[in-house]
Amino acid sequence: MDEKIIKRALKDSFTKLSFTVQLQNPVMFVVYLSAIVTTGLCGLSIFGIKDASIGFTACISIILWFTILFANFAEALAEGRGKAQADALRNAKRTVTAHKLKNRNDKKIYTDISSINLRKGDIVIVSAGEPIPADGEVIEGVASVDESAITGESAPVIREAGGDRSAVTGGTTVVSDWLVIEVVNEAGESFLDKMIAMVEGASRRKTPNEIALQILLIALTLIFILVTITLYAYADFSAKQLFVENPTSMTALIALLVCLAPTTIGALLSAIGISGMSRLNEANVLAKSGRAIEAAGDVDTLLLDKTGTITLGNRQASSFVPVDDHTERELADAAQIASLPDETPEGRSIVILAKEKFDIRERTLNVLNIEFIPFSARTRLSGVNMNGTEIRKGAADSIKAYVENRGGTYSDECDEAVRKIANVGGTPLVVAKDDSILGVIYLKDIIKSGVKEKFADLRKMGIKTVMITGDNPLTAAAIAAEAGVDDFLAEATPEGKLAMIRELQSKGHMVAMTGDGTNDAPALAQADVAVAMNTGTQAAKDAGNMVDLDSSPTKLIEIVRIGKQLLMTRGSLTTFSIANDLAKYFAIIPALFMSLYPQLGMLNIMGLHSSESAILSAIIYNAVIIVALIPLALRGVAYKEVPAEDLLKHNLLVYGLGGIIVPFIAIKVLDFFIALFV
């Protein structure tokens, strides 16, 4: 609730009073017309043409205008958060000088032009300290890039030619080295331009569920219009039969219509939808449409990449398995020495495990007189030469060949240890010293903390989790069992991912997945909710209907939570709004017709003072409740990972029963204070 946002929202509340803006919300448009009519009736009263007392008509008119303003304020406040973020993005979007290469092979010959004159396909070079002038793909070079203007993350990221981290965004800054970039978007169509449009809500279209709810609200409003007209005709007929004046005024009937129509949810519906996009923006996710957020709320199947999402991304040493009468400490000591120069995550984990299990301290490489033998794809092993001793670690077949070439033997015991580790989804790393095999290091994928519990929560909500991995089926099955996912796709290929999504969708499932590579693009384009990583290729970002600026694969779970929270908020407030009508019915109907039908006094269970005080109390409550519910509409209802039937019970109890009780109390309190001044 920033002061600047509130001031802008207050101003926009009056701007939105225009006829064309109000026409976009049919329910509130009825209130808008009602306010105009009562204002006209108030004006006629001045000239002696009375519908009801001028004070009563004036009060109803003023309250109806405030009802419209409150609804406008709710929508403007939701939009204000997006506009504030758009202002920040505009500050990042600036015209800069671009170094356009005449020949990509000669980086010293370039022409300086304005970034707004760049076209798709142009090649530019950007050096350290310079802003990237346009969206593009890195075609040469590797550099650190500051993307804080886009993502808010201060740590620079690496961008390089080839692979899945080649996309760069205009407005970011090269921190070190240089990049040759091919422009992929025309001026005005950059990712930053699209972001500004999306966060302002300019491209937010109503989703199917939102349209369906809007149709329901319109239908209810039309029904209540017919009911109100019928009530007036019936009251007029009854008054003539009793030879009395018709006690129902046009002002009272308009108040009745406004109170019975679902104005609360009608006023907050746009705010709920816009705030859903805003909450995604706060999570650093950009949705290309409101439809994508709502689809996230309906998702029942999540396709999750194993590496970086379910596991930490690097295999780590878990245990030492000695063979051929060697001791575990002997194996650990040799493995640590072989890993001292190895700066890979796996190598460092071996050093740490040896230290933790046997208190074997790291030693200085130059003191040990070590010659490091780096890993290569050809030999598939690494190690050290130390004072005439050779220690090697690597794949089983590579170490077997190495030992046998030196006259040693590869025992059945070692083969059995390798097989057991592979069967449980681990990676066996065999260690040899000269011509003797010492044992096997068990490397395993480390499941992220809390992931298994999170998947259990998703299962309670009826969401199936599927792990996607390039591992063999045996390894994939072991990791899937440990992580607690429901299913897995092993040895995944682009065709395999696409086929799985299509098969799930053919069975009626709503599928969500993440991806960052060009090979993910077909599956992303097919998925109902497709989250592309900002660090990924342009093809992936184009195929997805959401972009995660943080490039975190686990963000998919948060997106589903926000989508479900949006649907829960809309459902809860709809329940509350309709339940409110019951209390307002008991407030106004008896008050309006008691003079014609005294028996209706039995329905005046709140004991309201008079017909005018009852109507004023109900119409004031109808306006004030909109303001009271704005924070809930913007924040969303509390999200709980429970089955749908439990959510329904909670919804009916809190917002259904609460929607009946709250207006009874509020209208009675308002009636008490109004009676003091009547």
Task: Print burial letters for 516-550: b (CB count within 10 Å at least 16), e (below 16).
Answer: bbbbbbbbbbbbbbbbbbbbbbbbbbebbbbbbbb
Cα 617 to its chain centre, rounded Å, is: 40
Is 393 known as a binding-site position? yes
Exposed / middle / buried, residue 3 (Cβ in 10 Å: 0-12, 13-18, 19+): exposed
Q: What are phi and psi of 244, to 5 degrees?
A: -130, 165
Is 381 known as a binding-site position? yes
Question: DSSP letter string over 377-408?
Answer: TTT-EEEEEETTEEEEEE-HHHHHHHHHHTT-
Cα gap 332→487, rounded to integer Å: 36
Is 377 known as a binding-site position? yes
Virtual torsion, Cα 634, 462, 498, 567, nearest 10 deg: -20
Is 331 known as a binding-site position? no
Closest CA relative to residue 301, chosen from 462, 499, 504, 464 = 464
Virtual torsion, Cα 667, 672, 674, 675, nearest 10 deg: 130
Instruction: Please say if 471 is a catalytic residue.
Output: no
Is 498 known as a binding-site position? no
Is 106 known as a binding-site position? no
162 three-state secondary structure: coil
Is 380 known as a binding-site position? yes
Cα gap 226→234, rounded to integer Å: 12
Cα 366 to its chain centre, rounded Å, is: 52
Is 12 known as a binding-site position? no
Q: How is residue 256 written in tokens?
A: 């009745």
Which residue stretches of 3-147 are H helix? 3-15, 19-23, 26-46, 54-92
Is 610 known as a binding-site position? no
DSSP state of 69: H
Closest CA relative to residue 281, chosen from 541, 558, 662, 578 = 558
Cα gap 318→248, rounded to integer Å: 82
Cα gap 416→166, rounded to integer Å: 43
Q: Which of 146, 193, 298, 305 is catalytic?
A: 305
Closest CA relative to residue 607, chosen from 590, 624, 625 = 590
User: Which residue matches tokens 């308002």?
Assistant: 670
Which residues does residue 667 pair with via DSSP β-bridges, in sequence order?
none
Cα 278 to its chain centre, rounded Å, is: 9
Is 165 known as a binding-site position? no
Is 372 known as a binding-site position? no
Known binding-site residues equal 342, 346, 375-382, 393, 516, 520
Residue list for the binding site for Mg(2+)? 516, 520
- Which residues are the active-site residues? 305
Which residues fall in the annotated binding site for ATP? Answer: 342, 346, 375-382, 393
